[in-house]
Amino acid sequence: MIREFPELCGNINGIACYERALVDLYFESTRKRIPYPKEETARIFSMVLRSERINLTRLLMFASRRGIKEEIKAIVKFVEPKFPVRVKIKNKYVKEFIHSMKRGKLR
């Protein structure tokens, strides 16, 4: 994902770091701000969490700024059950997203 403002925190030479890109992609696709399927976003999220070195503190910081920290915690907990947090999955966006992940067997 390319950010419009290179001076925003979470950008490297105008390109979002993984943590910021994941948070932005999740938020924008689940809120239907970009025409991108949840299933594809779920696949990307799962693949990146499994294959790349993600700083969970930074991921949750960006999520907190977007107001979706609990949603991101629930998704990370779904992908990595050993993640040491307690989560409540009440939000409709995260329920639908995790359902997409289950359908695609992305755990």
- pTM, 2 dp: 0.76
**Is 3 part of any domain?**
no
Range of the domain at 79: 11-103
Number of domains in the chain: 1
CA distances from 94 to 4, 13, 66 (A): 26, 31, 14
**Is 51 part of any domain?**
yes
pLDDT reported for residue 13: 56
**Is 32 part of any domain?**
yes
Report, as ranges of residue numbers, the positions in the chain whose pLDDT lies below 50.
1-6
Per-residue tokens: 13:
């030479």
**Is 79 part of any domain?**
yes
Find the DSSP H helices in 1-107: 18-30, 38-51, 56-66, 69-79, 92-103
Q: What is the pLDDT of residues 43-59, one digit of tens each?
A: 888 888 888 888 989 99
**Is 20 part of any domain?**
yes
pLDDT reported for residue 8: 54
Distance CA 35, CA 107 (A): 24
pLDDT reported for residue 50: 82
**Is 17 part of any domain?**
yes
**Is 53 part of any domain?**
yes
pLDDT reported for residue 64: 94
